[in-house]
Amino acid sequence: MFKFAHPEYLYLLSLIPLLWLFFIYSMIIKNKRLSKIGSKHIIKQLMPDASHWRPRIKFYLSLLAFTVALLMLARPQLASKSETVKRKGVELMIVLDVSNSMLANDVSPNRMEASKRLVSRLIDELQNDKVGLIVFAGDAFVQMPITTDVLSAKMFLSSINTGIVPTQGTAIGAAIQLAMQSFGPPTAAERAIIIITDGENHEDDPIILAQEASEMGIKTHVLGVGTPQGSPIPIADTADFWRDSEGNVVVSQLNEQMCKEIALAGSGTYVQVDNTNTALRVLKSQLDTMSKAEMETKVYSAYDDYFRLLAIITLVILLVDVFIAERKNHRLSKVKLF
């Protein structure tokens, strides 16, 4: 089992492409300024010690040191000791809508992020239970098979976005069917499907499939994300919104009627997520009534920390960077390294 103790530092890795682009831009500006002085032959005579490769090598070393330092701060850890314990719990498949309509921001910051935060808090409450993750849009996929490893569940959750399923649409029924197939062999533990969606179904009949799940002893709970008033759907990296074939801005609304019918057919509960605390409390009260069974869970009790190793690597890279001068070294001029 591998994990980062402080994964929030990994977000800073997104700065690397920006730093690289800034360096390329600065080199282009520098070359343009030098070209105004004269030809390459003249510039070489005026600046005989100037090196073409050394500044680039120093930049890439600095960038590498920055990357390793961020990994160091994130504290990578590898499990070194595990033990099997017995706990009582239930089996849950969390089914998350990742269609484009989940980008609507009628809930803050948008439906997608609000749903992920809700699921993250729910997973924190499921320490003794088995949990799996399914994502769906025009099709449904298992993001994480059902497991007792809640740390992995949170890791998989963090990578979910609206582009993770290539086929757009909202196939709630396909997601319910896949969830039913994703449970393990029947045990004494009760099973449930938890759907987080705005209820805009375009592909199939989820009510029939929720009823089939209920007949198999699997309850279907639905958490509705969004508002009945709705909101336009932003197009990523633009200031525009999704439009229909006539050019009108599409307003995505929470389809509460569909959500309620699915929950009713699935012998479950419908909750509108206008308040995360309330939604979690209502859902948790339903989960607490489910029959639990004893299950074996692997628990990691000790981890090897690679902080020091990465700190040493960072220091070595920085030392190498310091000892490489931007200009040519006359003593090493006979050894044409750069």
Instruction: State what percent of residues in the chain have pLDDT above 70.
Output: 86
Arithmetic mean of pLDDT, 223-231: 93
- In angstroms, the CA 219 to CA 267 distance is 5
Q: What is the Cα 303 distance to its own chain's centre?
A: 24
Residues 6+ apart with CB under 8 A from 54: 324, 325, 326, 327, 328, 338
DSSP H helix total and E strand total for the chain = 10, 11
Is the preceding omega at residue 109 within 30 degrees of 0, hence cis? yes
Considering only the C-alpha atoms of the chain, give the largest distance between any 2 of them, rounded to a whole number of Å. 86
User: pLDDT-based confidence at 83, cuts 50/70/90?
Assistant: low
- What separation in angstroms does the CA of 270 have from each of 96, 265, 296, 310? 15, 11, 31, 48
User: For 187, left (φ over 0), alpha (ψ -120 to 50), or beta?
Assistant: beta
- Per-range mean pLDDT, top range of 23-27, 45-49, 108-112, 325-329: 108-112
- What separation in angstroms does the CA of 155 have from each of 117, 127, 145, 225, 301? 13, 15, 13, 22, 19
Q: What are 164's two structure tokens? A: 């993770």
How many residues can be counted in the chain?
A: 338
Consecutive H or E run containing 35: helix 15-37
* pLDDT, the chain, mean: 85
pLDDT at position 47 = 56
Asked if pLDDT for residue 58 goes beyond 60, the answer is yes
Asked if pLDDT for residue 33 goes beyond 80, the answer is no
Asked if pLDDT for residue 280 goes beyond 50, the answer is yes
In eight-state DSSP terms, residue 308 is H
- In angstroms, the CA 216 to CA 184 distance is 13
- In angstroms, the CA 83 to CA 337 distance is 53
pTM as predicted: 0.68
Asked if pLDDT for residue 131 goes beyond 50, the answer is yes
288-303 pLDDT per residue, tens:
899 888 776 666 667 7
User: pLDDT-based confidence at 314, cuts 50/70/90?
Assistant: very high
pLDDT at position 80 = 74
DSSP letters for 123-143: HHT-TTSEEEEEEESSSEEEE
In order of their start, the domains of the chain are 2-75+306-332 (no CATH), 82-297 (3.40.50.410)
Residues 6+ apart with CB under 8 A from 121: 276, 280
Q: What are 315's two structure tokens? A: 């220091």
Neighbour order of strands in the sheet with 218-224: 140-147, 130-136, 91-97, 191-197, 218-224, 270-272
Phi then psi for 216, rounded to 5 degrees?
-90, 5
